[in-house]
């Protein structure tokens, strides 16, 4: 009787565990979001331009904890350590201020969440690397995140700096002027040495509305494993190197995790702002472009008709055919 009770209790514990695991359900990776913003009201509208500064400007970064892809927020469990490495290599430690930001919890309910902010003056041309260390006991993680603030035309100095994080990403690609579809690569380091065979997570941030919509679509299209679309995964090679194509415009998180046999995981994350394709496809220019092609087409037709030759030359026909293709393509692009 006693034994049966014990077995029932164990079974209950196992079932509860399974239930909790399934209830937590779809979850992508947690990331420490370093979003520069002029005011708290606009933190979630972060764009690549927010990582650009003017000389003398006071830059404020907001630091949030959550799932960027799904726009899910969590309270930060401890105050992050925030520093900035200036282009000349000097390091300034920044004081942080706790605040609460609006967001959505894991169950999809709106709420407020503990976050932090820190400010510094951009007093040198070049790249200032903001680096944050955040300790989360619940996730068994020490998270070391870097974001580059760029200042000055052609002052491309400092973006690849090694700031001395326990696990650190050294970028191979300059993180500004990067467009959608560009490849990002880097080297994962642990204790100053290449971190081989480490999992590298890659994830883009979404605003709340877009996040909800895209998660719903992924759940419909890939019901067997929606998070495979939220958090992309690759590995570092023997030299700690990795590459991944960042295929959409937005703010990307690329993080390599050192998983020790015991103790807390230590991850190094690099934030990569990705621009829309350049040059842009200009919708407004299309009608004018179409008019221009039509005029040229008419002129060619008249020229051919009034030609002294009985039949138009091959080159004229080819030109007309070419222009028709252009008209078709322009029209198609407009649809």
Residues that bind Cu ion (CB under 5 A): 27, 30
Q: Considering beta carbons, is residue 138 or 279 the nearer one to Cu ion?
A: 138
Q: Considering beta carbons, is residue 50 or 75 the nearer one to Cu ion?
A: 75
Shortest separation between residue 324's beta carbon and Cu ion, angstroms: 53
Shortest separation between residue 83's beta carbon and Cu ion, angstroms: 25
Q: Considering beta carbons, is residue 70 or 127 the nearer one to Cu ion?
A: 70
Q: Is 240 helix (H, G, I), strand (E, B) or coil?
A: coil
Task: Specify whether the CB–CB gap between 60 and 95 falls below 8 A.
Answer: no
Q: Considering beta carbons, is residue 141 or 286 the nearer one to Cu ion?
A: 141
Q: Considering beta carbons, is residue 32 or 236 the nearer one to Cu ion?
A: 32
Place of tokens 């100095």: 157
Q: Considering beta carbons, is residue 27 or 317 the nearer one to Cu ion?
A: 27
Q: Considering beta carbons, is residue 18 or 27 the nearer one to Cu ion?
A: 27
DSSP 244-298: EEE-SSEEEEEEEEE--SSS-EEEEEEEEEEBPPSS---TTHHHHHHHHHHHHHH
Task: Specify whether the CB–CB gap between 41 and 99 falls below 8 A.
Answer: no
Shortest separation between residue 30's beta carbon and Cu ion, angstroms: 4
Shortest separation between residue 29's beta carbon and Cu ion, angstroms: 5
Shortest separation between residue 15's beta carbon and Cu ion, angstroms: 24
Backbone angles phi, psi at 254, to 5 degrees: -125, 115
Instruction: Give me the residues paired with residue 272 across strands.
Output: 252
Please identify the residue of the shown chain whose CB is closest to the bound Cu ion. Answer: 30
Element (H, E) at 24: helix 2-24
Shortest separation between residue 238's beta carbon and Cu ion, angstroms: 28
Helices 285-305 & 314-334, crossing angle to 10 degrees? 160
Question: What's the distance, Cα to Cα, between the start and end of the chain in Å?
Answer: 74
Place of tokens 């998070």: 227
Whether the upstream peptide bond of residue 214 has omega within 30° of 0, thus cis, is no
Shortest separation between residue 22's beta carbon and Cu ion, angstroms: 16
Q: Is 317 helix (H, G, I), strand (E, B) or coil?
A: helix
As to burial, measured by CB atoms within 10 angstroms (0-12 exposed, 13-18 middle, 19+ buried), residue 229 is: middle
Task: Specify whether the CB–CB gap between 163 and 129 falls below 8 A.
Answer: yes
Q: How far apart are CA 323 and CA 335, in angstroms?
A: 19
Q: Considering beta carbons, is residue 30 or 267 the nearer one to Cu ion?
A: 30
Q: Considering beta carbons, is residue 50 or 143 the nearer one to Cu ion?
A: 143
Q: How far apart are CA 53 and CA 38, in angstroms?
A: 11
How many CB atoms within 10 Å of residue 61?
A: 25
Q: How far apart are CA 202 and CA 183, in angstroms?
A: 12
Shortest separation between residue 297's beta carbon and Cu ion, angstroms: 57
Shortest separation between residue 282's beta carbon and Cu ion, angstroms: 39
């Amino acid at each position: 009787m006693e034994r049966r009770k014990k077995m029932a209790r164990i079974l209950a514990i196992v079932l509860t565990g399974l239930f909790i695991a399934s209830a937590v359900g779809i979850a992508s990776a947690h990331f420490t979001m370093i979003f520069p913003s002029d005011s708290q009201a606009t933190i979630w509208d972060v764009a690549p331009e927010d990582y650009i500064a003017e000389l003398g400007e006071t830059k404020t970064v907001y630091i949030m904890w959550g799932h960027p892809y799904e726009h899910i927020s969590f309270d930060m469990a401890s105050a992050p350590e925030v520093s900035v490495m200036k282009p000349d290599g000097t390091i300034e430690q920044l004081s942080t201020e706790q605040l609460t930001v609006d967001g959505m919890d894991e169950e999809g309910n709106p709420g407020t969440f503990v976050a932090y902010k820190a400010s510094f003056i951009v007093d040198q041309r070049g790249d200032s690397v903001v680096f944050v260390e955040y300790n989360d006991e619940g996730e068994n993680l020490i998270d070391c995140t870097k974001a580059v603030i760029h200042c000055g035309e052609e002052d491309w100095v400092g973006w690849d700096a090694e700031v001395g994080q326990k696990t650190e990403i050294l970028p191979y690609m300059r993180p500004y002027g990067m467009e959608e579809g560009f490849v990002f690569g880097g080297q994962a380091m642990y204790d100053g040495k290449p971190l081989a065979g480490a999992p590298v997570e890659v994830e883009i941030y979404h605003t709340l509305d877009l996040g909800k919509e895209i998660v719903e679509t992924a759940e419909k299209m890939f019901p067997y494993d929606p998070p495979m679309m939220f958090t992309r995964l690759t590995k570092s090679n023997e030299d700690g190197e990795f590459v991944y194509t960042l295929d959409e415009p937005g703010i990307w998180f690329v993080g390599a995790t050192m998983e020790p046999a015991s103790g807390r995981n230590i991850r190094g994350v690099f934030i990569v702002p990705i621009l829309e394709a350049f040059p842009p496809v200009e919708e407004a220019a299309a009608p004018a472009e179409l008019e221009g092609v039509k005029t040229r087409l008419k002129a060619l037709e008249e020229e051919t008709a009034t030609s002294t030759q009985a039949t138009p030359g091959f080159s004229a026909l080819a030109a007309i055919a070419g222009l028709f293709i252009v008209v078709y393509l322009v029209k198609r692009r407009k649809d």
